[in-house]
Amino acid sequence: MTHYAMVIDLNTCVGCNACMAACALENQTPVWDEHKWRTYVHDNEIGFGEDTHRRFFPRLCNHCDNPPCMTVCPTGATTKQPNGIVKVDQNLCMGCRACAMACPYHARVDVTYADVRRGRDFYGSDYRRRRPSVDKCSFCDHRVAKGQEPACVETCVGSARLFGDLDEPRDPVARMVASGVARPLLPHIGTRPSVYYIDDLRWRG
């Protein structure tokens, strides 16, 4: 079996936003609305007084193993593939946004009728979307199927995003996860994310 996962190493993310741009163009997201991305890189000031840090925090759908977005989805548009990827089928989705409410990671965005019209104009004859729906990161399953890395991973100038297979013990990603150095977000909620983070603050000072 394959279980795709991503490790994000906060130690080498420089907040360059290349992943956001790559994802947008690869997945034809509604870039005309600055709130609608499949992935975001936050730029936060953390710490106190002189002990201040600037942290870049990339986030995306966590491809949860126990995805609340899927359990609440009435149409069956959200599904979990055997390889761990949580997908949305634009043809089935009616856009009730229960999934967006259920997702603890703010991973879902609306693609409206207006967005689809803009998209046809913006992406031209290559526009792949046909219907409005809720959208989110797909782990670039169309690329992964061809043996490529997700667009954001491939271009990540800090090699902060790493993609791999948790079921392949020699995979560096699997090893980072198994060793506990890479950890998921909000594990107490029980979503069992497939996206893991390597902390950056422990390295400093």
Partner 1 sequence: MDVTMTYATQGIWTWWIAIYLYFGGLGAATLAVTFLTDMYLKPHRKLVLWGAGSGVVLLALGSLMLFTHLLDHRAVIHILNPLVLINQPTAWIAWGTQFIIWMMAWGVLYALPYVSETPALQRLPVIRQLLAQRLVRGIAGLVARHRKLVGWLAVINGVGVAVYTGLLLQSFPGVALWANPGVPLLFTVSAFSTAMAFLLLLMYTVIRDAADDVIRGLYERIDLVLIASKLVILASLFFYLQRGSESAMRSWELLWTDLGWLIGFIGFGLLVPFFLELRGVITGWATRMPIIAASVFGLTGGYLLRHYFMYAGVYAYPW
Partner 2 sequence: MGWSLPRLSRRAFLKTTGYGTAGLSLLSPAGGFVGQAVGRDQVIEEVTYNICNFCSSLCNLKVTTHNRNGDKRIVKVDGNPHSTLNRGKLCARGQAGLRQTYDNDRIKTPLIRVEGSRRGEYAFRAATWEEAWDYIAKKTQEREIKPWEWTMVGGWTSCVFYMNWAVPFAMANEVPNIIASPMQHCVTTGHLGTDLVTGNFNIHDEILPDFDNAKYILFVANNASIGGVSTCRMVRFAQGRKNGAKVVALDPRCSETAAKADEWIRIRPGTDLAFMLALLRTLMTDNLYDAQFVERHTNLPFLLTRDEQGEWRLVTDDEGRPMVVADGTNDLHALPAFHHDNRRDIAGQTIVPALRAPQGLTVDGRPVATVFQAQLDEIAECTPEWAAEITGVPAETIARIAREFGTTRPAIVDPGWHGARFGNVLMLRRVQAMVQTLTGGIDSIGGWINSGEVHHKAAHMYQAYEKGKEIAAPMADLAGMHFAKMVIDAVSNGDNFSHGRPGWTWAWNAQEKAAGRFNVALPVMTDTGLRESVEGQVLWQGEPYLTRALVINAANPVRHYYPDTYWKETLSHENMDLVVLVDVLPSDTAPYADVILPNSTYLERSEPTVYGNGVNHDLAVTTRYAAIDPLYDTEEIADILLRLTEIISGNTDKFLDWVEMLTGLEAGPVKAVHARTRETHERGAFTAACREVSINQTAARIGTTPQRLDMVLRERGIYLEEDKHEVLSHWSMPRLMPVPTPSGRLEFYSGLLRSLRDAGHAEPNFNVLATYIPAECRVGLTMSDPLPPDEFYFTYGKSPTVSHGSTNSNNPVLWAINQFKDEIYKGVWIHPERAERLGIEHGDRIWLTNTKSGQRTDGRAYVTRLVHRDALFIYSSFGVENKALSRTHGEGTATSRLIPYQVEPVVAGFRSQEFTIKVAKA
Residue ranges binding partner 1 (CB under 8 A): 42, 44, 46, 55, 57, 59, 68, 70-77, 91-98, 100-106, 110-113, 131-134, 183, 185-186, 188-191, 197, 199, 201
- Structural element, H or E, at residue 125: none
Instruction: Give which of partner 1, ligand SF4, partner 2, none residue 196 binds (C-beta under 5 to 8 Å, depending on kind).
Output: partner 2
Q: Taking the complex as a whole, how short is the minimal distance between the CB of residue 55 and ligand SF4, in angstroms?
A: 11
Decide whether 2 or 72 has the Cβ nearer to partner 1.
72
Bridge partners (DSSP) of residue 25 are none
Do residues 128 and 122 lie in contact, with contact meaning Cβ atoms separated by under 8 Å? no
Distance of CA 124 to the CA centre of its chain: 25
Q: How many CB atoms lie within 10 A of CB 158?
A: 18
Rg (CA), the chain: 17
Q: How many CB atoms lie within 10 A of CB 92?
A: 15
Q: How far apart (Å, rounded) are the C-alpha atoms in residues 176 and 182?
A: 6
Give me the amino acid identity at 29.
T
Decide whether 31 or 189 has the Cβ nearer to partner 1.
189
Q: Taking the complex as a whole, how short is the minimal distance between the CB of residue 75 and partner 1, in angstroms?
A: 4
Interacting span for partner 2 (CB under 8 A) from 99-107, 108-116, 183-191: 183-191
Do residues 8 and 58 lie in contact, with contact meaning Cβ atoms separated by under 8 Å? yes
Interacting span for ligand SF4 (CB under 6 A) from 47-55, 98-106, 117-125, 174-182: 98-106
Q: How far apart are the first and last CA of the chain?
A: 41
Decide whether 14 or 201 has the Cβ nearer to partner 1.
201
Q: How far apart (Å, rounded) are the C-alpha atoms in residues 106 and 191?
A: 13
Q: Taking the complex as a whole, how short is the minimal distance between the CB of residue 25 and partner 2, in angstroms?
A: 6
Do residues 97 and 106 lie in contact, with contact meaning Cβ atoms separated by under 8 Å? no
Q: How far apart (Å, rounded) are the C-alpha atoms in residues 119 and 106?
A: 23
* Of residues 24-53, those binding ligand SF4 (CB under 6 A): 26-27, 38-39, 41
- State the number of binding residues for partner 2 (CB under 8 A): 80
Among 72, 81, 96, 112, interactor with partner 2 by CB under 8 A? 81
Site residues (vs ligand SF4, CB under 6 A)? 13-19, 22-23, 26-27, 38-39, 41, 56, 58, 60-64, 67-69, 72-75, 77-78, 86, 88, 93-99, 103, 105, 107-108, 133-134, 136-140, 150-152, 156-158, 160-161, 191
